Amino acid sequence: MRQFYLDGAGLRLACLDYGGHGAPPILFIHGGAAHAHWWDFVGQELQGEPRSFSIDLRGHGDSDRAPSGDYSIDAHVADLAAALGNWGYGKPVLAAHSGGCFAALPYAVAHPQSVAGVAIVEPRVHWPPELLERAARRNERPHRRFATLDEACASYRYIFPPIGASPAVLAHVARHSFRQEPDGSWVNKTERMSMAGIFHISIMEYAARLQCPALVIRGDQSVHLSAQDAAKLTALARAGPAVVIRNAQHNVMLDNPPEVAAALRRFAASL
């Protein structure tokens, strides 16, 4: 695995290359408050067939923060357009998780000729008022600072706790979630406002406008995407039956990487 940078819309986007061969490649897109390394274990399970990559959206992971504070969906779409317009690895399958779907689907609708397909993984299709209120409060709260990386990692929490992920997987995600500041303290890499623009986007609306093949993936114990909503989503996207990942809640790529990798490999091979 190597890290390199792609030029987004006026900033740099960090990207991981898991290596391999075969077309189309898969480009993983993480969810809100996450980062590219959430997909590391799926990338490893693919074993290079097909080749896969994982990108940090603006304000996440090792990508640049938006100098103007622009974290709108238009900005995320512009980043993907700039990055994929010059990356040279062929039209990818976008495998987007949760909040990443709010960037991937609008991009695929706006640039249908630039993607081979879209895997829609555990998207949020309803925004209850209490969830919007909690998200707004979270966005306004500054990150805590920690004296050591170990202390920072011990503090790491998931909004939707993984249920099948091993301690090693969870430790790996946590250790890639913090950066060291000039004063020596450790702080979460995610810009608080980096996904503030997603709340008005309708996944169902964009799914209905897709012009490329689609796949829907949900966890068998998901509290995020119900079986009924997954069925509606597949119908709108003109996709086959949703793939249900066993022993998995919202964070399917952490709970059961082998099954997620197998589903994505089958999807890519069908294109």
DSSP character string of 17-84: E-----SS-EEEE--TT--GGGGHHHHHHHTTSS-EEEEPPTTSTTSPPPTT----HHHHHHHHHHHH
Maximum pairwise Cα distance, the chain: 52
Any domain includes 127: yes
Report pLDDT digits (tens) over 9-27.
999 999 999 999 988 999 9
Residues with Cβ within 8 Å of residue 266, at least 6 apart in sequence: none
What is the rounded distance in angstroms from the CA atom of residue 100 to the CA atom of residue 83? 16
What is the rounded distance in angstroms from the CA atom of residue 218 to the CA atom of residue 212? 20
Count how many domains the chain has: 1
Any domain includes 158: no
Assess contact for 162 and 247: CB atoms under 8 A.
Answer: no
Predicted TM-score of the model (pTM):
0.95
| Residue 109: CATH number of its domain | 3.40.50.1820
Average pLDDT value over all residues in the chain: 93
pLDDT of residue 249: 96
Any domain includes 248: yes
Evaluate if residue 131 carries a pLDDT over 70.
no
Any domain includes 39: yes
Report pLDDT digits (tens) over 49-80.
999 999 999 999 999 999 888 999 999 999 99
Its domain, for residue 56, covers 2-135+190-269
Closest by Cα among 26, 4, 27, 29 to 14: 4
Mean pLDDT of 110-134: 87
Residue that the structure tokens 């090693």 belong to: 168
Any domain includes 144: no
Closest by Cα among 41, 37, 71 to 179: 37
